[in-house]
Structures are given as C-alpha cells and as structure tokens.
Structure 1
Amino acid sequence: MPAERIDGLAEREIVDVAGGVSTVRQDQLAEEVPLAVHCNGEPLAVMMVSPRDLDDFAYGFALTELGLAADDLVSIAAQTLLEGIQLDLRTRHPLPARATGHQRWLPGRSGCGICGNRSLEDVIRQPASVGHGGPIASSALHAALFELEQRQPLNAATGAIHAAAWAGADGKVMLVREDVGRHNALDKLIGVMQREGTDTGSGFALITSRASYEMAAKAAVAGMPLLAAMSAPTALAVDLAGRCGLTLVGFLRGSRHVVYSHPWRLEPA
C-alpha cells in the first residue's frame, strides 16, 4: 500500500552519491507553490508558500499586512488553479486606506512580505508598543528550541522548511507552523493564535531563521513581547524592536543566545 501523501511534501527521483556509490531512490522535497491573495475580489499579493495551514496564513497575513483583526474576516476560500492556489478573503468592511495603499502588483519570493510594494512608505512602518509581558527565564528559550527541533515534520523530511513557534513563559511549545518562507511561517503562527484566542502577552515566539526587520514588525503587530531567532537580526530589526518595546534575541543555539533589545524581560539562568 502506498504511503499516505503528506500535504506540503512531494516526491522526486534522485541519484544519491556517497563514497563513490550511486543509488537511485525517491526523495521527499518541500512543496513550493504560488499563492495569489485576493481581497474582496481584488488581487492583492502573490507569494510562494507551502500549501498547508492556509486559513492560519490568511488570518496572520490579514493582521500583520492589512491591520485586520480576526473578526474583520467574513470568509476565506482557497481554490487550486493550474498556476497555483488562489486565496480569496472577504472582509466585513472595505479595506482601510492604509491597506488599499499597501496593494502589491509584483510576485514576491518565498513569503517575502516586502517584495512587490509600490513605495518605500509601504515598507517601513512603526508598530505600536508591545505589552509589558511577564518575565521569561533564559533557560525557557533553550527548552523551547530543543522541543521545537522535535516538532518540525516537514523540515525533518526535507531540510528546506522554516518554522515559527509559540511557547509559554516556561518554555513549553504550544503551537508550531512550518512553511518554505520564514514570513509565511510566522504569519501562520500568528493566524492560528488569533483563531484560538492565544494570549500574545504571555510567552514568546521562536523562529528558525534570521530576524529581519519585517519579522520583528510582524511579531510586534501581533503584540508579542519577545521574539527569539536561531540566526542573526538585522540592524533595522534591532532599531524597530528598541522603539516598540520588543525584546529581540538572536543566535539562539545550544547554550548561547544574544539579547539585542529590552533585556529586562529575561531572567538570568
């Protein structure tokens, strides 16, 4: 009996060469498909995504890119086309002026939320200050990282997938979302947190990528008090985090991490 197909994975025949010996076998690869986002019948953005948890992506994208709360969305419908997937959003009210001016007409790379914006003003934004949040032990960051490494089935199969996770102040991972794009993974995480009513003021987000400006901005828009990244942040991300009260942590690996802004939230080990 053939194995059940897992959404987000595809199989291709490869030649595996090791020690001079060639082996022909089937390999699992990460699916990457074009996603066209339409809102109230109008095209808004095109990006490359993993074709799973698209409802979560819709809610997260609506908040971080359009400024819409969960109850502003009336319906979400995905349809598979020859060219990819079309995601149709319907909102309770017309999009606000900021969102209308934020329209994109160029395809973006894997989840890049900036690609396709028409002006610099559409890109650089300053989120409101995040909440105070409770204290978080430094050890909780590393506990969450260890657990997250065990909860990435798509990446375990392919080695080509990013993840974003939400953990409690004790480091217990509560939610994980994966995608080929780091921005998409974080939007999916934010989306499922909105749908489930997760308190973004208590706990922290963990991402398996670098912390770019837009990743920090998305976390701040969602009201997350702390964002921890496995890789480095950019200078612009650190500046934004400093201004909006976000604790930004980078190089979370092994027993090490670097705090770039608002270290007062973290209790020493």
Structure 2
Amino acid sequence: MATDPTTRHRAIERVLRSGEEQQRQHLDDLLVIEEPMELRIDYAIAGKRASRSLAITMRTPGDDEDLARGFLLTEGIINSEADLLSLKRCTDGQGEESPNIWRATLAEGCNFDPGKLQRNFYSTSSCGVCGKASLDALHHQGVMPVADGPAIDAELLLQLPEQLCAAQATFDRTGGLHACALFNARGELLDLAEDVGRHNALDKLLGRALRRGQLPLGDRILLLSGRASFELIQKSLVAGIGLVAAVGAPSSLAVDLSDTYAQTLVGFLRDARFNIYTHPRRLT
C-alpha cells in the first residue's frame, strides 16, 4: 500500500472526565504533515541566466508542482504556462531529488522583475503594506475587473458547504486542513485542494487550472472553508473568478478588493444563510 504523504500516525493519551472521575485512553491519532517547501527561480536578465531563492512556505506535501505553479501565477511572476520552461525538484550532490526544494525555470521572454524578490509576498505576510498600496500592486500586476458570468441561483450556494465537507478526505480523518473548491454554475464540484495553509490550498487549485489551460475562471464559484482574507481574494482575482463564497467572515480589505474589481463576495455561508458583501447581481 502506498504511503500517504499528507499524514502520519502519533501515539497519544486522551483525557476524559466522567462525573468526578478522570480516565485516560491510549490511542493512535492521525496528524497532518507540515513541512517547508522552498521555491527557487531561474530567469534571464541582461542576456544572462540568474538563479535565486524565491520563497519558502509551510505546506502539506502533495501537489507540490501545482502549488509552485499557482504561487508563480498568483504572485505575478508568470502570466501563462508559456512563461514556464520547466518546474522540477532540485537534486543534491549525489543526484538524489530533494522532496522539499523546487526550481522554476522561466522562459526567455517572460517579463519577470527581480525587484519583486525584495518585497514580502501576499501569501506569506498579511502585514507591512497598507490597503491602498495593496490595491495599487494588483493594478500594476495587470489584474482587471472580472467579467460578468452566468447568473447563480442563491439557493444553490447553500448546498455547496456540504459538498465541500463530504469531499475533504484528509480533513475528515485529521480535522487539520483548510480547503478550497471550484464549482460550476449548476453547483457541481469540479475540483478541490487541501493544505495546512489556506493560501497553499488555493495555489494548488489554481496551479492545476493553469496547467490544464482552464484560465480564466469567470464562470466558476470558488468556495473557501474558512474566512476570506485579502491574499485569497487577490489570488482569486488573478484567476478571473467572479464569485467567491466563504464559510467564515471576510476581512475589510477583502471586501474592498472584491468591490473594486467587480467580484461578488459571500461570507458566513453556513447554517442555511449567507451574507452578500459586494456585487449581488450575480445571484438570482
């Protein structure tokens, strides 16, 4: 049987109180694996090739290639699959692949600005920039207001969290992962990704869409298992998603961002209710 790269077992003690007595049980628990992944980048500058470490993120192993691809897309390093010559695991001095280090080689014509390496990426830091600077950065990245997609039945949204929960295989066994999913206008689940990091889960999802040539995703619904933060909305806008729904609350900057880019944002999608924060025209 193949080893699951996303989980590992751990012997634990469970403490239970019944009345005045305390009991202890020895159990086997299943933990979500969290490991660092480094992404290195090889690019052309002034007619020469250069190489730098781009980012390190704590992630759940699995779908690493799509995680790297999605990160490059949503951070504005690449705009299309054509910008990426190769994406491979790095090797050590003995020629063995390193499981946690990946190298992205950009095409000669990729318009990559090495100055981007000097700032904190949105996915790894939610502080250090003001709201206006964040919006300006998206504008300079070339992100445009999302196009109108198909009208969505508001009642249909209420069915999506249950589908997401039913499809979260690793969360069901561990309770320790975030998830995001893509649905079509009929409420059919198209794809799902899980990770210990919310931004990683979305990068995995969007990296697969990029690899499959499915972008932009203007006719899709994105469902987030937790809250809607600025970095998640930023990533969804790069993919052209018109409707984002979150089980949890949106932040103020997430609402501002969705509003500015004509995106419909729904929050607190649970318990047979939800709030529409921006552009309700997509929901009938």
- TM-score bracket relative to the smaller structure: 0.7 to 0.9
Q: CA deviation at 1:143?
A: 1.9
Closer/same/farther in 2, CA of residues 103 and 123 from structure 1, 3 Å limit = farther
Q: Which residue of 2 aligns with 1:53?
A: 63
More deviation, 20-29/225-234? 20-29
Report what 2:150 is aligned to: 134
Aligned match for 1:33, one of 32, 35, 41:
35
Per-residue CA deviation, residues 158-208 of structure 1 (Å, 9 max, x unaligned), is 111000100000111110000000000011111111222335121210011
- CA 1:206–1:52 in structure 2 vs 1: closer, same or farther (change >3 Å)? same
Aligned mates of 2:133, 2:124 — CA distance in 1: 8
C-alpha displacement of 1:49 = 0.5
Q: Please give the TM-score of this superposition, normalised by the length of structure 2.
A: 0.84
What is the aligned partner in structure 1 of residue 111 from structure 2? 96
Q: Matched residues in 1 for 2:268 and 2:180: separation?
A: 15
| Contact kept? 1:166, 1:176, Cα under 8 Å | yes
Q: Kindly indicate whether residue 181 of structure 2 is the aligned counterpart of residue 165 of structure 1.
A: yes
Which runs of structure 1 show a deviation greater than 6 angstroms over 4 or more consecutive aligned residues? 80-84, 116-122
Q: Distance in 1 between matches of 2:105 and 2:205?
A: 21
Q: For 1:72-83, what aligned pairs fall within 5 Å after superposition?
A: 72-79=83-90
Distance 1:105 1:80, change over 3 A: farther
- Matching of residue 70 in structure 1 with residue 87 in structure 2: no
SS of residue matched to 1:113: coil
1:118 CA displacement: 8.4
Spell out, residue by residue over 1:132-160, the C-alpha distance to the aligned partner (whole angstroms, 9 max, x if none). 11111112222222111111111111111
Displacement of 1:5: 2.4
Which of 85-94 and 146-155 deviates more?
A: 85-94
Residue range with higher mean Cα deviation, 3-12 or 146-155: 3-12
> In terms of Rg, which structure is larger?
2
* Deviation sequence 1:97-135 (CA, Å, 0-9, x none): 5x42221588x9xxx614299876985533321121111
Note the C-alpha offset of 1:37.
0.8
Q: Corresponding residue for 1:8?
A: 6
For residue 76 of structure 1, what is the amino acid of its counterpart?
L
* Separation of aligned partners in 1, 2:198 and 2:259: 22
Label 1:15 to 1:141 Cα distance change in 2 as closer, same or farther (>3 A): same
Task: Decide which of 203, 208, 211 is 2:228's aligned counterpart.
Answer: 211
Unaligned runs of 5+ in 1: none
Structure 1 residues 42 and 171: CA distance shift in structure 2, 3 A: same
Distance 1:80 1:142, change over 3 A: farther
Is residue 2:240 matched to residue 1:223? Answer: yes
Amino acid at match of 1:86: I
Give the length in aligned residue pairs.
260
**Matched residue, 1:246:** 263
- TM-score where L is the length of structure 1: 0.88
SS at match of 2:62: coil
1:28 and 1:211 mapped to 2: Cα distance? 28
The 5-angstrom pairing of residues 171-190 of structure 1 reads 171-190=187-206
The letter for the 1-side match of 2:259 is G
Report whether the alignment pairs 1:198 with 2:200: no
Out of 80, 86, 94, the position equivalent to 2:101 is 86
Identify unmatched segments of 5+ residues in structure 2: 43-50
Q: Distance in 1 between matches of 2:156 and 2:256?
A: 25
Whole-angstrom distance in 2 between the partners of 1:77 and 1:118:
32
Matching residue within 15, 18, 38 for 1:17 = 15
Give the whole-Å Cα distance in 2 for the aligned partners of 1:149 and 1:9.
18
